[in-house]
């Protein structure tokens, strides 16, 4: 009788993180949480450019159409999927942060445990940064969910508090992160994340100092041929790139490619983006063509999205310097990017024209980082959205809190305009 009733799952375990091997497996799970098509596997890169017109919607997904038109409904499946996936990733981080320190296993050193916790904290900071820039105030959940009860209904924390937590996690992680760690968290990745966050927070002095630390590490440089950043894994320019394999693939190329190339022709670069490049710009074809040469081009889904790269660090620094009035240094930094793209130095007169300088830095930032998940946020945080985008309303700066979240948690308020 008991034998008949005593059944156990064969592809899952009932226990939690309890030893070194389950801790390491759970850390892999935390990275795996980023790989979903609702996150780095597609939407992280494509949605901001779809919102901002770098990309054009040519397919059938109505959720993409809403995003391209910036008339997003609260039940938009991409928006809901992204929110859900980011919090799913955070849960995986939270389990590690809570349980790994108390594992007692000989051979599982404090250093090993500290690094796992540091990587989890880095990932949590990255996840919350993506939440805060997309939705503004968001619930801060820092403990793993172990039972379903009222405590799951968490109110939104202020944007400032979320940033505070992001900085706290990065600062706690930094001492224990390795300097190299293929496809995973490193010191420089954490610094780059903090620099990007500081830029969004307009803490320009911090941006410069963080970028300087990365530069000073000497680990990174601009690769001479732009296309190599995307063609080769682990280039000197890459600070953190997410790994994908055929068995664990993304749908970036699939969504961008024409059917002739095996894609689904869902989204493609807009002609307005193409015409923004000079014809000699080596980035133009790679960013805006319709065929096999794109930043994402492996139809089998093994493109490795570079989440932080040295060019962004330079552009972050250039922008911060310009904002601080250190125009000459800003221009020098900017020219590194321009020259690598094959379009030569910018006019030296920009040093004396801060508005034009900032505009040029912004333009190069758009051209350099198109399709990498930046443009929409850059338009919003620099106040350019209203002048650049048609039919702009300031409420479009934030995505709606998914309807399902508000239905399951009455404490959540909606963003204005939805």
| Contacts of the segment 207-212: beta carbons below 8 A, 24+ positions apart | 207/316, 207/317, 207/319, 207/320, 208/317, 208/320, 208/321, 208/324, 211/313, 211/314, 211/316, 211/317, 211/320, 212/317
Among the candidate windows 17-25, 103-111, 228-236, 371-379, which touches another protein by CB under 8 A? 17-25
Q: How far is the CB of 315 from another protein (least distance, A)?
A: 26
Non-local (6+) Cβ contacts of 71 within 8 A are none
Q: How many residues bind another protein (CB under 8 A)?
A: 101
Distance CA(378)–CA(376), nearest Å, equals 5
Give the footprint of another protein on residues 374-413 (CB under 8 A): 390-391, 393, 395, 402-405, 407-409, 412
Residue 282 interacts with another protein (CB under 8 A): yes or no: no
Taking the least distance from each CB to another protein, the nearer of 26 and 208 is 26
Out of 104, 106, 179, 247, the residue judged to bind another protein by CB under 8 A? 247
Taking the least distance from each CB to another protein, the nearer of 16 and 345 is 16
Residue 145 interacts with another protein (CB under 8 A): yes or no: yes
Q: How far is CA 14 from CA 10, 93, 144, 147, in A?
A: 10, 19, 16, 14
Give the footprint of another protein on residues 42-101 (CB under 8 A): 56-60, 62, 65-66, 68-69, 71, 73-75, 80, 83-84, 87-88, 90-92, 94-95
Q: How far is the CB of 356 from another protein (least distance, A)?
A: 22
Q: What angle do CA 185, 255, 281 make, to 5 degrees?
A: 75
Residue 415 interacts with another protein (CB under 8 A): yes or no: no
Give the footprint of another protein on residues 181-200 (CB under 8 A): 182-183
Please report where in the chains the tokens 């969504």 appear, as a residue. 255
Residue 55, phi then psi, degrees to nearest 5? -120, 150
Out of 19, 105, 153, 158, the residue judged to bind another protein by CB under 8 A? 153
CB of 246 closer than 8 Å to CB of 333: no
Taking the least distance from each CB to another protein, the nearer of 158 and 271 is 271
């Amino acid at each position: 009788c008991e034998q008949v009733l005593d059944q156990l799952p064969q592809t899952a375990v009932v226990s939690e993180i309890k030893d070194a091997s389950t801790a390491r497996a759970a850390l892999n799970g935390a990275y795996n949480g980023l790989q979903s098509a609702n996150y780095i596997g597609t939407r992280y890169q494509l949605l901001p450019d779809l919102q901002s017109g770098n990309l054009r919607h040519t397919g059938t997904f109505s959720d993409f159409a809403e995003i391209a038109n910036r008339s997003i409904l609260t039940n938009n499946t991409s928006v809901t999927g992204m929110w859900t996936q980011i919090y799913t990733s955070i849960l995986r981080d939270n389990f590690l942060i809570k349980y790994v320190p108390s594992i007692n296993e000989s051979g599982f050193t404090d250093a090993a445990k500290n690094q796992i916790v540091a990587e989890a904290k880095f990932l949590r900071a990255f996840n919350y940064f993506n939440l805060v820039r997309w939705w503004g105030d968001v619930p801060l959940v820092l403990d793993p969910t172990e039972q379903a009860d009222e405590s799951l209904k968490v109110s939104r924390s202020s944007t400032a508090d979320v940033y505070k937590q992001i900085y706290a996690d990065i600062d706690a992680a930094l001492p224990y992160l390795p300097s190299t760690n293929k496809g995973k968290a490193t010191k420089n990745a954490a610094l780059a994340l903090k620099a990007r966050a500081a830029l969004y927070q307009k803490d320009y002095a911090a941006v410069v100092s963080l970028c300087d630390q990365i530069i000073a590490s000497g680990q990174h440089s601009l690769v001479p041929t732009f296309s190599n950043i995307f063609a080769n894994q682990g280039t000197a320019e890459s600070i953190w790139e997410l790994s994908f394999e055929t068995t664990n693939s993304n749908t970036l190329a699939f969504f961008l490619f024409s059917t002739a190339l095996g894609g689904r022709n869902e989204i493609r670069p807009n002609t307005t983006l193409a015409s923004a490049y000079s014809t000699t710009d080596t980035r133009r074809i790679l960013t805006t063509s319709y065929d096999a040469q794109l930043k994402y081009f492996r139809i089998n889904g093994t493109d490795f999205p570079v989440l932080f790269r040295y060019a962004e660090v330079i552009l972050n620094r250039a922008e911060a310097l310009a904002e601080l009035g250190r125009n000459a240094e800003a221009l020098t930094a900017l020219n590194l990017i321009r020259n690598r793209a094959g379009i030569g130095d910018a006019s030296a007169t920009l040093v004396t024209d801060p508005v034009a300088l900032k505009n040029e830095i912004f333009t190069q930032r758009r051209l350099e980082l198109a399709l990498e998940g930046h443009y929409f946020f850059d338009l919003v945080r620099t106040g350019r959205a209203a002048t650049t985008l048609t039919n702009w309303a300031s409420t479009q700066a934030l995505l709606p809190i998914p309807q399902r979240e508000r239905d399951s948690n009455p404490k959540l308020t909606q963003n204005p305009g939805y």
